[in-house]
């Protein structure tokens, strides 16, 4: 079975909390994202439950007159529930050691597994909206060479196309932050 999925990192947001909304710039980006997908055949929309992810896909949902399915498994990975002054170094370490599990957090493997379940169940031509760390881990699961350095280059928003066929998977980046169109 062959299928194409679109993995989207949410647009520019006002914070990291689950209830953080998009900024005015993020709202404009969401409209651009809707235009970006307008010419593609889209069969479904699935979003993280976080407000910024939902707001990212709402303009496209409105344009296509389609409901957005909320899936908790696309929520951002919790690296730790403790305040980590060195969080960036710890995140980098977690890309090298996918079993690393910090206090109150989940390992990269755990996050990958819950995200992969959504990819498996998603229909062909579906748009899935998630967050930076989760997107990075999903991409790493498909391409082992995707690491911390590539994660650092992700933009808000960002779009990757995932092709799945005969047990194979391939990714390609479709979005560039300052142009908002195909590469």
Instruction: Give the whole-angstrom CA distance, residue 52 versus residue 50.
Output: 6
Q: Is residue 12 domain-resident?
A: no
Query: What's the whole-model pTM score?
Result: 0.93
What's the CATH code of the domain at 122? 3.40.50.1240
Residue 73 has pLDDT above 50, yes or no: yes
**Mean per-residue pLDDT over the chain, rounded:** 93
Q: In the chain, what percentage of residues exceed pLDDT 70?
A: 96
**108 belongs to a structural domain:** yes
179 found inside a domain: no
Q: Which domain holds residue 165?
A: 3-7+30-171
Q: What pLDDT score was predicted for residue 36?
A: 95
How many domains is the chain built from? 1
The answer, yes or no, to whether residue 121 has pLDDT greater than 90, is yes
Indicate whether 183 belongs to any domain. no
Whether 151 is in a domain gets the answer yes
What's the pLDDT band for 56 if we cut at 50, 70, 90? Answer: very high
Please give the distance of CA 120 from its chain centroid, rounded to a whole number.
15
Tokens of 147: 């690491």
Residue 182 lies in a domain: no
* Arithmetic mean of pLDDT, 144-156: 94
| H or E segment and range at residue 4 | strand 3-9
Q: What is the mean pLDDT of residues 45-71?
A: 98
């Amino acid at each position: 079975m062959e299928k194409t999925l679109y993995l989207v990192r949410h647009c520019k947001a006002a914070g990291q909390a689950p209830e953080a909304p998009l900024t005015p710039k993020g709202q404009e980006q969401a409209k651009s994202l809707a235009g970006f997908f307008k010419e593609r055949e889209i069969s479904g929309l699935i979003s993280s439950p976080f407000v910024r992810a939902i707001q990212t896909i709402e303009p496209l949902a409105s344009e296509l007159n389609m409901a957005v399915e909320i899936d908790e498994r696309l929520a951002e990975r919790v690296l730790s529930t403790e305040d980590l002054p060195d969080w960036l170094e710890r995140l980098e370490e977690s890309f090298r050691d996918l079993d690393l599990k910090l206090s109150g957090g989940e390992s990269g493997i755990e996050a990958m597994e819950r995200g992969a379940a959504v990819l498996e169940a998603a229909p062909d031509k579906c748009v899935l909206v998630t967050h930076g760390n989760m997107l990075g881990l999903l991409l790493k699961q498909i391409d082992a060479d995707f690491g911390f350095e590539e994660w650092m280059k992700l933009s808000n928003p960002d779009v990757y196309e995932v092709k799945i066929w005969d047990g194979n998977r391939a990714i390609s980046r479709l979005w560039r932050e300052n142009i908002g169109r195909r590469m």
